[in-house]
């Protein structure tokens, strides 16, 4: 065990903090601080500059925010630590045995690293200092001393372990000249140091170090606990792993304590592996399964059991299929229940899709299911295709109907029928005039005569209708007057009859008058006066 010199850094009323002056020195100006139980790198290691060789490895260092200051130490200061590459973390466990020289700040401390380039304004005018005043930052920018530039940092900051490096640069490495108004840099937390100037604090005030503890280096085997025996000595006490439940025996093994350690003894009917840390039961299910082919073999300690698969019922040795379709009521009305070995299932009918419990109609018309020249009509569970007018379905295709060939056209007999896609066209023969797109064809020399006849056919009925309406109007007019004037004598009645006969005589229609007569004026006689009665049934 390493002997120690007089303890020079025992702080009154507080625990002793690590110090290089507690370490052994020799004539070679070497400070040997290995195996001293240091949990923190001693703050005063820089004071050992009179000793050009300082050794700090083989200590149980805690790698958290409390060691950030050491990672930011000037290179010319850390060079005196000759075993820097051998210094390793002991805590936390995830960093156990990692080299301290290879640590990255973000993996040991959650505090944000702030760069002056992001928050500070460069020197302006005759000023030689970057302006970082009152930026509301929690921590001093980590890179302000990289190029030995000047910075104004007036403001309040968190005074915790992440402030130690800045305090050391001000107090230990004489960088005050780069920080004007350094006495206006104060703490905003914790409350103990509220508004206290940072320059008045020392490292252990804001980040107390832990007392050296040899047991923290875990010198004892895992089967023992470490107990301090004096300030620089320890002893290992055997652990009863069985009583404290720290053994690694299998659940089917018995733990037996020994000194040191313990041993595991598997229960009967179990095979022992890894000195009882594994006890394996004979697995009957690995051989030819004694269970039904529709059952699962489950191994249990010292035995096994057979469990029917889902959809089957039985004792495991014999499993019968359950026909859930007989009682299944959760299938969609557009689905069918299919009984299968094991769980039955709902399957959507053709023309529907879904999980069987919910089935939705497939709109086949979204795809190209119908042939060209056809309309697609979606229906529940199906669809239909209807060819366009002028086409008919044949062999799954919509083919053009040749109306000319099948004589289903309406062309005039004196017209030529010409088939087209989806229809036809009529063209009157030479010498004929076309009407209604070739549905009617008339000879060109008869065209004028046909036009005259057409005029007569239209005009005569119209004139006749006008005369009849006028006659009826006059008749009913006279009749109404007759009712209004009560006749006083027979002469008045005869006079009325005579007038009525005259009126009837004038508006009688002679159909034979439509014939052409050569009058002196060369006109047609359409109406004439006649006393003869006309029988309209002859016409």
Summarised one tens digit per residue, pLDDT across range 441-499 is: 988 776 555 566 667 778 888 888 989 988 888 888 777 776 665 554 445 444 443 44
Angle ∠(21,26,32) on CA atoms, nearest 5: 50
pLDDT at site 321: 85
pLDDT at site 448: 55
pLDDT at site 515: 37
Q: Does position 421 have pLDDT exceeding 70, yes or no? A: yes
Higher pLDDT, 497 or 395: 395
Overall size of the chain counted in residues: 539
Burial environment of residue 477 by CB neighbours within 10 A (0 to 12, 13 to 18, 19 or more)? exposed
Q: Does position 283 have pLDDT exceeding 90, yes or no? A: no
Per mean pLDDT, which range of 70-74, 373-377, 392-396 is the poorest? 392-396
Torsion of CA 238, 242, 247, 252, to 10 degrees: 160
What is the CATH superfamily name and number for domain 401-444?
Answer: Laminin (2.10.25.10)
- Residue-wise over 63-94: b if at least 16 C-beta within 10 A, else e? bbbbbbbbbbbeeeebebbeebeebbbbeeee
Most confident of 17-21, 200-204, 279-283: 200-204
Chain segment 170-196, per-residue pLDDT in tens? 888 778 889 999 999 999 999 999 999
pTM: 0.45
Tokens read off for 399? 């083919």
List of long-range contacts for 407-411, beta carbons under 8 Å, 24+ apart: 410/439, 411/438, 411/439
pLDDT at site 482: 66
Q: Does position 9 have pLDDT exceeding 50, yes or no? A: no
Q: Does position 529 have pLDDT exceeding 50, yes or no? A: no
**Is residue 150 within 8 Å of residue 175, measured between CB atoms?**
no
Q: Who's near 198: CB < 8 A, 6+ residues apart?
A: 157, 159, 163, 166, 167, 170, 182, 185, 186, 187
- Give residue 538's pLDDT band: very low, low, confident or very high (50, 70, 90): very low
Q: Does position 2 have pLDDT exceeding 50, yes or no? A: no
Every domain of the chain with CATH number 2.10.25.10 lies at 221-281, 283-322, 401-444
The whole-angstrom separation of Cα 134 and Cα 187 is 12
Block residue for tokens 């209004």: 484
Mean per-residue pLDDT over the chain, rounded: 80
- For 32-86, give the DSSP string: E-TTS--SS--GGGGGGGGSSEEE--SS-EE-SGGGHHHHTS-HHHHTTBTTGGG
Q: Alpha helices of 309-446 — where are they, by DSSP H? A: 403-406
Q: Is the peptide bond before 190 cis (omega within 30 degrees of 0)?
A: yes
Higher pLDDT, 466 or 2: 466
Tokens read off for 215? 């047991």
pLDDT at site 453: 65
Chain segment 86-138, per-residue pLDDT in tens? 999 999 999 999 999 999 999 999 888 999 999 999 999 888 999 999 999 99
Q: What percent of the chain stands above pLDDT 70?
A: 82
pLDDT at site 107: 93
Q: Does position 325 have pLDDT exceeding 70, yes or no? A: yes
Q: What percent of the chain stands above pLDDT 90?
A: 30
The whole-angstrom separation of Cα 61 and Cα 70 is 12
pLDDT at site 200: 94
CATH T-level fold of 283-322: Laminin (2.10.25)
Kindly state the average pLDDT of the residues 274-280. 86
CATH T-level fold of 221-281: Laminin (2.10.25)
Higher pLDDT, 7 or 161: 161
Q: Does position 507 have pLDDT exceeding 70, yes or no? A: no
pLDDT at site 48: 56
């Amino acid at each position: 065990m390493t002997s120690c010199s007089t303890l020079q850094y025992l702080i009154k009323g507080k625990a002793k903090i690590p110090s290089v002056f507690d370490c052994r020195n020799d004539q070679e100006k070497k400070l040997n601080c290995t195996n001293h139980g240091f949990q923190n790198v001693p703050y005063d290691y820089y004071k050992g500059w009179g000793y050009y060789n300082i050794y700090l490895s083989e200590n149980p260092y805690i790698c958290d925010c409390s060691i950030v200051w050491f990672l930011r130490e000037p290179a010319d200061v850390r060079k005196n630590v000759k075993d820097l590459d051998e210094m390793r973390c002991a805590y936390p466990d995830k960093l156990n045995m990692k080299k301290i020289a290879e640590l990255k700040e973000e993996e040991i401390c959650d505090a944000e690293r702030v760069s002056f380039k992001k928050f500070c304004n460069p020197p302006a005018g005759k000023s030689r200092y970057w302006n970082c005043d009152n930026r509301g930052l929690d921590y001093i920018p980590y890179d302000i001393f990289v190029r030995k530039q000047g910075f104004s940092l007036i403001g309040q900051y968190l005074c915790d372990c992440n402030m130690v490096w800045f305090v050391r640069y001000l107090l230990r490495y004489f960088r005050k000249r780069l920080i004007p108004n350094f006495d206006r840099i104060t703490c905003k937390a914790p409350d103990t140091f509220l508004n206290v100037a940072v320059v008045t604090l020392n490292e252990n005030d804001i980040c107390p170090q832990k007392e050296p503890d040899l047991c923290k280096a875990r010198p004892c085997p895992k089967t023992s606990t470490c107990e301090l025996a004096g300030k620089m000595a320890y002893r290992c006490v055997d652990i009863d792993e069985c009583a404290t439940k720290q053994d690694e025996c299998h659940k089917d093994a018995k733990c037996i304590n020994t000194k040191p350690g313990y041993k595991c003894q598997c229960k009967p009917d179990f095979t022992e592996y890894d000195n009882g840390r594994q006890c394996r039961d004979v697995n009957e299910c690995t051989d030819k399964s004694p269970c039904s082919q529709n059952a699962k073999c489950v191994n249990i300690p010292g035995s096994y059991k057979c469990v029917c698969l889902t959809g089957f019922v039985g004792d495991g040795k014999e499993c019968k299929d359950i026909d859930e379709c007989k009682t299944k009521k959760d299938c969609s009305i557009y689905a069918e229940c299919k009984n299968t070995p094991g769980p039955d299932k709902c399957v959507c009918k053709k023309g529907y899709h879904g999980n069987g419990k919910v089935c939705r109609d497939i709109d086949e018309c979204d795809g190209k299911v119908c042939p060209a020249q056809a309309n697609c009509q979606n229906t529940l569970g199906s669809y239909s295709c209807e060819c366009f007018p002028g086409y008919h379905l044949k062999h799954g295709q919509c083919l053009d109907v040749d109306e000319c060939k099948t004589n289903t056209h309406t062309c005039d007999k004196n017209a030529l029928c010409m088939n087209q896609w989806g229809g036809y066209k009529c063209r009157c023969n030479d010498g004929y005039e076309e009407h209604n797109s070739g549905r009617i064809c008339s000879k060109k020399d008869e065209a004028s005569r046909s036009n005259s006849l057409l005029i007569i056919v239209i005009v005569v009925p119209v004139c006749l209708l006008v005369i009849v309406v006028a006659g009826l109007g006059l008749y009913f007019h006279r009749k109404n007057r007759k009712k209004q004037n009560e006749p006083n004598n027979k002469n008045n009645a005869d006079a009325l009859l005579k007038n009525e006969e005259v009126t009837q005589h004038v508006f009688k229609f002679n159909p034979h008058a439509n014939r052409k007569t050569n009058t002196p004026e060369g006109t047609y006689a359409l109406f004439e006066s006649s006393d003869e009665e006309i029988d309209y049934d002859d016409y």
